Amino acid sequence: MSSHREEAVRRIAAPEIAARKGGQPIVCLTAYTAPMAELLDAHCDLLLVGDSVGMVVHGLPNTVGVTLEMMILHGQAVMRGSRRAMVVVDLPFGAYEGAPEAAHANAARVMKETGCSAVKVEAGPAIADNIAYLVQRGIPVMGHVGLRPQAVMVEGRFKAKGKADHERRRILDEARAAAEAGAFAVVVEGVAEGLAREITAAVDVPTIGIGASAGCDGQILVTDDMLGLFDWTPKFVRRYADLRGEIGRAVAAYADDVRERKFPGPAEIYFAKAG
Ligand code: KIV
């Protein structure tokens, strides 16, 4: 008889994602809540608890205000809702760019308190040393190059990257440095197809594209974008549903029913027992 432990579904781990380089494309989406993680789990190899949660769920103007506590809370929810997909939690702005010891304390806290399998960091200049420090201490790390949303205050706005030659070279170097430091995969955001293919050829770990063409080893989207929960979506998002429209229609129907005293009806109320 097999034990409960043996019957448990084993989660996809970092080495399995790394081994998919050049193979079957890696399917990734963001998740922030347990019910959504439950819906996505069977279809995805990797669920990212992205710091985009600050904008998508908490109404922040960008990801700079996201805290470690927010990431931990949403990481715990996504772990509860999923069983199979690898769960990666973003380290928020300010949690990993300074002293390696501080980056390690924050990353270890995220892993201990959520049970997630890895963290993601935006791999700008000088982050490679901290990636190596974390990986050497048992923390799998995913890098993120190209458009780096946490750098929005320096950039002034979210804009595609790598148009100028010096920028192309810098992004390529950052991707190489993240991979050489031990990152098991690198997210490539908001770059033209040529650069995405160049990065994919230059690093020996999978690239996960978002707005970076089908030339990457896998793809990720913000789930709420691809489900059509916003009235505006970036150019690189394909909308697979119109949940904003669906929700609007459902709520309007509910409001009409309440106003016309059609809800609740006989099937939706309790009756006292006779006698
Ligand atoms: O925070 C996020 O959702 C991300 C993805 C867009 C890659 O970093």
- pLDDT tens readout for residues 110-144: 999 999 999 999 987 789 999 999 999 999 999 99
Q: Does 92 sit in the ligand 1 pocket, CB within 6 Å?
A: no
Q: Does 121 sit in the ligand 1 pocket, CB within 6 Å?
A: no
Q: Which residues contact 246 (CB under 8 A, 6 or more apart)?
A: none
* H helices present in 181-272, as ranges: 193-202, 223-226, 243-259
- Is the four-CA dihedral 173, 179, 101, 113 of positive or negative sign? positive
Q: Which residue's alpha carbon is nearest to atom 2 within ligand 1?
A: 50
Instruction: State residue 1's pLDDT score.
Output: 45
Nearest alpha carbon to residue 18 among 214, 238, 183:
183
Q: Does 77 sit in the ligand 1 pocket, CB within 6 Å?
A: no
Q: Does 224 sit in the ligand 1 pocket, CB within 6 Å?
A: no
Q: Mean pLDDT over residues 11-33, rounded?
A: 98
Q: Does 89 sit in the ligand 1 pocket, CB within 6 Å?
A: no
Per residue in 71-93, pLDDT (tens digit) is: 999 999 999 999 999 999 999 99
* Measured CA angle at 58 (ends 118, 190), to 5 deg: 60
Residues making up the chain, counted from first to last:
275
Instruction: Please give the Cα distance from 147 to 191 (Å, whole number).
Output: 7
Instruction: Please give the Cα distance from 177 to 197 (Å, whole number).
Output: 17
User: What interhelical angle do 165-180 and 128-136 show, nearest 10?
Assistant: 10
Q: Please tell me the distance between residue 152's alpha carbon and the centre of ligand 1 in angstroms.
A: 14
Q: Which residue's alpha carbon is nearest to atom 3 within ligand 1?
A: 50
Per residue in 157-216, pLDDT (tens digit) is: 777 777 788 889 999 999 999 999 999 999 999 999 999 999 999 999 999 999 999 999
Question: What's the mean per-residue pLDDT of the chain?
Answer: 94
Domain residue ranges of the chain, discontinuous segments joined by +: 9-225
Q: Please tell me the distance between residue 209's alpha carbon and the centre of ligand 1 in angstroms.
A: 10
- Which of 27, 189, 219, 229 to mutate to test ligand 1, by most ligand atoms within 8 A of the CB atom? 189
- Which residues share a beta bridge with 120? 90, 142
Q: Which residue's alpha carbon is nearest to atom 5 within ligand 1?
A: 50
Instruction: State residue 155's pLDDT score.
Output: 77
Instruction: State residue 170's pLDDT score.
Output: 93
Per residue in 216-244, pLDDT (tens digit) is: 999 999 999 999 998 888 999 999 999 99
Q: Percent of the chain scored above 70 by pLDDT?
A: 97
Whether 189 is a known active-site residue: answer yes
| Whole-structure pTM value | 0.94
Q: In the CATH scheme, what is the code of domain 9-225?
A: 3.20.20.60
Q: Does 51 sit in the ligand 1 pocket, CB within 6 Å?
A: yes
Instruction: State residue 4's pLDDT score.
Output: 52
Classify residue 177 by burial, with Cβ atoms within 10 Å: 0-12, 13-18, 19+. Answer: buried
